[in-house]
Structure 1
Amino acid sequence: MTELNNLWLTETIRLREEHAGPLEDLEANRLARSAGGDLPSRIQCRALWLAERDGLSAALKHWLQGARLALIVMAVLAVVSGAGLAFAAMGDGLHPVNVFWALGSLLGLNLILLLSWIVGLVFAGEHGASLGRVWLWLSEKLARDSKAAQLAPALLLLLQRQKLNRWAIGVLVNSLWLLAMVSALVILLTLMATRRYGFVWETTILSADTFIAVTQALGALPALLGFSVPTEEMIRASGDAALNIESARQAWAAWLVGVLLVYGVVPRLLLALLCLWRWKSGQAALRLDLNLPGYAQLRERLMPTSERLGISDAAPEQLHRVESGVSEQQSDGALLVAIELDDDRPWPPPLPNNVSNAGILDSRESRHKLLEQLSRFPPARLAIACDPRRSPDRGSLALIAELARSASATRVWLLQAPPGEALDAERLGDWHAALQQLELPFADCAPMNWLETGHD
């Protein structure tokens, strides 16, 4: 994951919370605080965890795949368009080629849009955005992920702060036109190599001297690269009919190729490289704008001056698979903890010497205290005792999942009912189904051997 992608996902999370309200982020905030660092790094850590949990990281991968496909489609269209310009300029080979008509076909639209892009870049900075919007729209369609719809606006907002969008669009526009011009040049050379063309110029109101001056002026730069320019006599003679002289045909062909290369290919190549350089150098200056309300309000939660408790968050829409982020090398020891047990149940049971008791989690303060402790000292084995007489509500299951992510290995202990009381079979089945969805092992007997030795 690149730094740009991290900032992109962070901005996406900010936009999502701005429009849909705050996300459930207690665990994300805790992990960001435990990771340490300055405020921007903690904001990114929080956002990346939320993006992974809510599927935005996968949506970004799909969007990038769609963006690459969109670029391929647009590149193919550029190559085909360039080839079309060359065929239109040279004709069928049965009639002489009007050199200035051919030159206008090859370079006219390219030069008009090039000047327009430069003027827009200098005065507005947003010209060419229509092509960029086409690419963004096509990328979103090819991604085929409903969550990818939030990514494009976040990317634009992120780039606009450093005015990088103009350079990103510049790379796209100039690269596509470069492909078109190179395609036109290749087809032009192919046609000239396989067909015999004659060249003429025609006019009604302009004099021959005008065409001579224009031809020599346009050929001055290509001549510095070794391309030949028709002599004044060749130019004058070509005004009446196509010269049936090999040297004249070759001179006009070299002039046309040289003009296309110098005024069509080279400017687009240089501009594409300039935009790419500005884009690469500008990425290093990308930062989160901590003055935005969405980030400013995270300061106290991620870098608190005092611990704040009692915040209530909405329950998640669905349970998420538990994947421990703790390795065996990072963890040590064994721990037993219980969740919301009644006072009439004796606790804790006799424990081996190497198993610690974390008590009963029956308040928000006790939960936060234990989770903060586990973030610093994760256990190798964690047993979570639950009373199956209670319904497996989503708050308890979310706590079990969060505890499980803080240990290398976790087992859930579904306690037996007190003597003279039977467990409700339907409720017990709900517990089994929920724990299976979390992919956590569970049993109705005390896992003391496993806690002590790591083996049953």
Structure 2
Amino acid sequence: MKISPEELHTLETIKSDEYSLDKTTPYDKDSYLKILCYAKYLQIALILVFFIIGCVITPVAFETGNNQEINTFWLLTVLLGAHLFSLFLWLMFQLKKPVPTASETTWFTDLLKRAVNLTGAHNQSFQCYVRLHFSQATGRWYLGRVVHSAWMGYLIGGLLSALLFLMTHQVTFVWETTLLTATDFQSLTKLIGTLPSLIGIPTPSVEDIATSQINSTFQSDETRKTWAVWILSCVFIYGVMVRLLCTVICHVLYRKKRNDLWQQLVQSRPKTYHSTREIIDENHHDTAVSRTNITPLDALSVADFPSDSSYFLFEWSRVAPSIVASNNAIVPLNDSVAQQHYLEDSNNDRIIVIDAEASPDRGSLRFMRNADSVTRSFYLHGNRFAHAWSQALQENGIAAEKVARMKDQSEDSL
């Protein structure tokens, strides 16, 4: 499992606020990746538990005794009742419950934190995960997706268990009532069978309903089969399909709200950076240059790239630029060990390629400043934070002629 580039960029952005990671180390990123994996495994475990519960509980609804008779609508109530009731409660909570904040805990985050504590994962990484996935309305739709997918597992388990039971047992479907009439049952059956009939599932006829009343003398195999298929189709449509639809809706809304949240976090960080230069490195004012002396970025084309230099991709999380990917001397600088080796090497004919789709932070700029003396050039690939990177590098004492924006082959062809 990998951290998406958008999530990695947002994670880097919030590292200097109240949920910050104290140090930019491989351990922090590995710890965050572990939490992502645990969250995924926890969701899968919940679905499997509900699936097993559905498989175990459903046969109880088919208890027939010696007469092998099953009350049709009571069976539907048992199979779908808990599901529909929980769905109703969820809808009520959505209407009444306020939007959660990142500091609030939920039953899911509580379970996840227990698992995280057992493995010794970094607690601040966990706080970052909660903020990125449970702040604002994001957490509401995240939990909705978990709940609906778990119930879908329960219903699939129940449906398969019911199918297996009906394939291995011959039962008689009956109905009985004290207050309702046969006409009421016919109307109810027709109403419930509206959606199954749209996909070709036949609704039990008036004759099927009449011969299924309790104490009737005869029920044909065809009538029993009609009732069995109709009941299974009702469980599938009103149970599995409804939960699947809710899961998809929650997933789409979760992704939308999550992306909006991440965009807000990323956009809020550059404003802080531009307004307060101490956020880059408060201990190195003497090497910074005036903002009025910032030199605009030069854009290099493919032909400008030195072929005799070694290229180093700094904390790279996406596909390497095509011109760099064709170079044999490529070294990633994605951890503190590689960065330390880079600084210890006196060879100064090297080029660092920076992912300008991610915003600059204090740790990254500290490394760039230390690497200035052993680096030929700093290339910025991407447009999102290219200006912020150029300004930050020059403010940290790196000569303007050593900083340029890297245009890929696709840009040269335009």
Common fold by TM > 0.5: yes
CA distance in 2, matches of 1:75, 1:133: 18
> Is 2:121 the counterpart of 1:118?
no
Aligned equivalent of 1:14: 17
Residue 332 (structure 1) shift: 4.7
- Residues 312-355 of structure 1, C-alpha deviations (whole Å, 9 max, x = no match): xxxxxxxxx97241677996558xxxxxxxxxxxxxxxxxxxxx
CA distance in 2, matches of 1:57, 1:372: 20
Q: What secondary structure is seen at the aligned counterpart in 2 of 1:228?
A: coil
CA distance in 2, matches of 1:228, 1:371: 71
Aligned equivalent of 2:71: 98
Cα distance change on mapping 1:241 and 1:378 into 2, 3 Å: farther
CA distance in 2, matches of 1:92, 1:108: 19
Quick one: percent identity of the two aligned structures?
21
Contact 1:331 1:379 in 2 (8 A): no
Contact 1:93 1:197 in 2 (8 A): no
Structure 2 residue runs of 5 or longer lacking an equivalent are 287-334, 349-365, 377-414
Residue 141 (structure 1) shift: 2.6
Aligned equivalent of 1:67: 39
Aligned equivalent of 1:142: 115
> Is 2:153 the counterpart of 1:179?
yes
- Give the RMSD, CA atoms, in angstroms: 3.9
Residue 202 (structure 1) shift: 1.9
Cα distance change on mapping 1:218 and 1:152 into 2, 3 Å: farther
Aligned equivalent of 1:86: 58
Contact 2:176 2:213 in 1 (8 A): yes
Cα distance change on mapping 1:333 and 1:205 into 2, 3 Å: closer
Contact 2:34 2:121 in 1 (8 A): no
Residue 217 (structure 1) shift: 0.4
Residue 247 (structure 1) shift: 1.4
CA distance in 2, matches of 1:332, 1:51: 24
**Residues 377-392 of structure 1: pairs in structure 2 closer than 5 A:** 377-378=373-374
CA distance in 2, matches of 1:145, 1:12: 22
CA distance in 2, matches of 1:329, 1:372: 10
Cα distance change on mapping 1:147 and 1:254 into 2, 3 Å: closer
Q: Number of aligned pairs? A: 300
TM-score, normalised relative to structure 2: 0.62
Aligned equivalent of 1:299: 276
Residue 98 (structure 1) shift: 0.9
Residue 227 (structure 1) shift: 1.1
> Is 2:248 the counterpart of 1:255?
no
**Residues 41-440 of structure 1: pairs in structure 2 closer than 5 A:** 50-52=23-25, 55-91=27-63, 94=66, 95-124=68-97, 133-143=106-116, 144-161=118-135, 163-241=137-215, 243-285=218-260, 286-287=262-263, 288=265, 299-303=276-280, 308=285, 323-325=337-339, 332-333=346-347, 374-378=370-374
Cα distance change on mapping 1:324 and 1:5 into 2, 3 Å: closer
Residue 278 (structure 1) shift: 2.2
Contact 1:14 1:295 in 2 (8 A): no
Residue 281 (structure 1) shift: 3.3
Cα distance change on mapping 1:251 and 1:58 into 2, 3 Å: same
Cα distance change on mapping 1:258 and 1:373 into 2, 3 Å: closer
Aligned equivalent of 1:4: 7
CA distance in 2, matches of 1:193, 1:333: 75
Q: What secondary structure is seen at the aligned counterpart in 2 of 1:229?
A: coil
Amino acid paired to 1:72: I
Contact 1:93 1:195 in 2 (8 A): no
Q: What secondary structure is seen at the aligned counterpart in 1 of 2:228?
A: helix
CA distance in 2, matches of 1:75, 1:153: 25
Q: What secondary structure is seen at the aligned counterpart in 1 of 2:109?
A: helix
**Residues 26-41 of structure 1: pairs in structure 2 closer than 5 A:** none
Aligned equivalent of 2:304: none
CA distance in 2, matches of 1:51, 1:72: 31
CA distance in 2, matches of 1:330, 1:135: 46
Structure 1 residue runs of 5 or longer lacking an equivalent are 18-46, 310-320, 335-369, 381-456
CA distance in 1, matches of 2:15, 2:53: 36
Amino acid paired to 1:226: G
Residue 125 (structure 1) shift: 6.0
Q: What secondary structure is seen at the aligned counterpart in 1 of 2:170?
A: coil
Q: What secondary structure is seen at the aligned counterpart in 1 of 2:374?
A: coil
Aligned equivalent of 1:366: none
Contact 1:168 1:279 in 2 (8 A): yes
Contact 1:59 1:145 in 2 (8 A): no
CA distance in 2, matches of 1:174, 1:217: 25
Amino acid paired to 1:376: D
Cα distance change on mapping 1:372 and 1:81 into 2, 3 Å: closer
